[in-house]
Amino acid sequence: MVGMLNKRYEFDGKPTLKLNKLQLKNKKLVEDKINSKEYTFEKVNCVICNGSDFELLAEKDRYGLYVPTVICKKCGLLQTNPRMNQESYNKFYDSNYRRLYEGGENEENIASFFNKQVSHGESILMLIERESK
Ligand SMILES: [Zn+2]
């Protein structure tokens, strides 16, 4: 059987989005951390059915980063596999994720995004508290 990986999803490092300067800088930082093994990947069994038979659908995300997406042949769940290990994800989400995905041009934008998220979270919490009485 011919694999299901479409040519346009093969890993070539090219983003399919137009990235701004901060995004490009952070993409490069992530790539460097992957190359230096500061970010490392691990193969895992399917998180739903524990299966280990996957079909590769894509090798990159829209930022052009290496993100292998597979489908579990047993239960059909789409997942990233291999994926970064927990320590790598922690570092990625602490230092690169927001700058890469939101593309805020400076630290103030990132701080203001964070503050908006905090107040959004607080309003959800208030709603839940009110509705659960
Ligand atoms: Zn599965």
Comparing CA positions, the residue from 54, 56, 58 lying closest to residue 73 is: 54
- Residues 107-128: tens digit of each pLDDT: 666 677 788 889 999 999 999 9
- Find the angle CA(128)-CA(129)-CA(133) to the nearest 5 degrees: 110
Q: How far apart are CA 19 and CA 10, in angstroms?
A: 19
Q: What pTM does this model have?
A: 0.72
91 within 8 A of 110, measured Cβ to Cβ: no
- Residues 17-37: tens digit of each pLDDT: 899 888 899 999 999 999 999
Cα 92 to ligand 1 centroid, rounded to whole Å: 26
Cα 46 to ligand 1 centroid, rounded to whole Å: 5
Cα 65 to ligand 1 centroid, rounded to whole Å: 24
Bridge partner list, 78: 71
